[in-house]
Amino acid sequence: MGWGGRRDGQVLLGPKSCKTIHFKKGHPRPMRPFSPLSRKPLLAIAFVGIFLCLYNIASHPRVSQTMQPSAYYNNNDERVCLPQRMLTMHPPAKKAKAAFVILVRNKEQQDIAETIVNLEDKFNKNFKYPYVFLNEEPFTEAFKSAMRAASPYADMQFGLVPHEHWSYPSHVNETYAAQCRERMKEEGVLYADLESYHHMCRYQSGFFFRHPLLDSYDWYWRVEPGVRFFCDITYDPFLYMEKHNKKYGFVVTLMELRETIPTLWETVLKYAQSRHIALDRPGRLFPYFRDTSGDYNLCHFWSNFEIASLDLWRSPSYRDFFNYLDKTGNFFYERWGDAPVHSLGAGLFLDTDEIHYFEDFGYQHDLYRHCPSKESGLACRCECPQGTTQQSIDHDKNWDTCLPRWREWLKVSSKDKKTAWNIWS
């Protein structure tokens, strides 16, 4: 008989009944070491432990199967939605040489303060990147105090735009520029009658990255007064771009107003020809901006949000490109914007796979909004408005979005690049 076998009135201990213990009737019989009664508390504890383990697994942020734990816990350089408690317990240890860059005026104090509070909540409370504020006029002490109140622990610098970067160059006829503004006003060209708007577009196109306050940085995140972020950003987009060899990042791609840039495309093509740039080299970004007739399709990256390499604009190639455009005077005679200038400049000098679409960012500027779709699985605790209202337009579905073309272009570009590799292999 096996261990603990029993007959009426006795308990046998050990194999082959080495010893017999007798007990009287009516007395409680001795319990086995783990009787059904004693096992219940242990089973309950085990059940609770298994439940908590499964709950933690289920609530853990979803990551790709190839991602290693050290990558998203320690390096923060992969796109992932982490619990806030994880970032609190393990603050990011590594940072890029990067800063927020904000061109803003004193009168926009309230709007930019609200934006900073929002940006700190969604991202920078964990990553603690500095802010660089730029203005063509000196910042007031009230403005500086309001910014520090919006983010008490952030590093902030306040810079003055050099006069030579916010004034008419010698080759521009100011009288003719004023006449052009008046004509464009009559024609209803958006913002064209605002002299300061022309200076702003020229500055953002060719000068902001030269400001001494940016000399120590490699990357920038452009922020505009009044913009809003809707989703938590729990990884470092700068480190992500460094790791994946990206040079320019956007959230919204849309069509430009043709009346603002009547000669820009023609000028860019002339520049490319004069510099012997192969616009159709496999992998190059430039054909994304061209329609089937060879004309500009008006698509561009909306530059009120940019995360990009400062070295892209600092490069001799881009500076040469900007100088060529600037010599035309059409930042003042027309209403060339920095968004198409940046976009076409990137098209000339970058490959498609050096561009990153921040699809996971929920973002709104003016009325136009982008939020990650449910199908994408990229949303991280988003608080996005639904549909299109008078206060917020779902731009991914708007008539002037270029997002479907961008998605199609990624497929075409990848196919063309693979074909080119096969030819040379």
Rg (C-alpha) for the chain, rounded Å, is 31
**pTM of the predicted protein model:** 0.83
Q: Give the pLDDT of residue 328.
A: 98
**Is residue 369 within 8 Å of 306, Cβ to Cβ?**
no
pLDDT beneath 70: ranges in the chain: 1-44, 48, 51-73, 417-425
Count the Cβ atoms, other than its own, within 10 Å of residue 78: 18
State the sign of the Cα–Cα–Cα–Cα dihedral 306, 307, 309, 314. positive
The 3-state DSSP class for residue 95 equals coil
- Alpha carbon distance 340, 272 (integer Å): 16
The 3-state DSSP class for residue 361 equals coil
Ordered strands of the 228-229 beta sheet: 228-229, 363-365, 368-370, 393-394
Q: Give the pLDDT of residue 414.
A: 84
Q: Give the pLDDT of residue 217.
A: 98
Q: Give the pLDDT of residue 13.
A: 43
Beta bridge partners of 19: 13
Residue of 120, 306, 334, 354 marked catalytic? 306
Token pair 């605002």 is found at: 194
**Is residue 81 within 8 Å of 234, Cβ to Cβ?**
yes
Tell me the pLDDT tens digit for each residue of 141-162: 999 999 999 999 999 999 999 9
The 3-state DSSP class for residue 106 equals helix
Is position 306 annotated as part of the catalytic site? Answer: yes
Q: Give the pLDDT of residue 20.
A: 46
- If we measure between CA atoms, which residue out of 311, 382, 377 comes closest to residue 350? 311
- Cα angle 231-232-233, degrees, rounded to a multiple of 5: 110
Q: Give the pLDDT of residue 30.
A: 53
Tell me the pLDDT tens digit for each residue of 326-373: 999 999 999 999 999 999 999 999 999 999 999 999 999 999 999 999
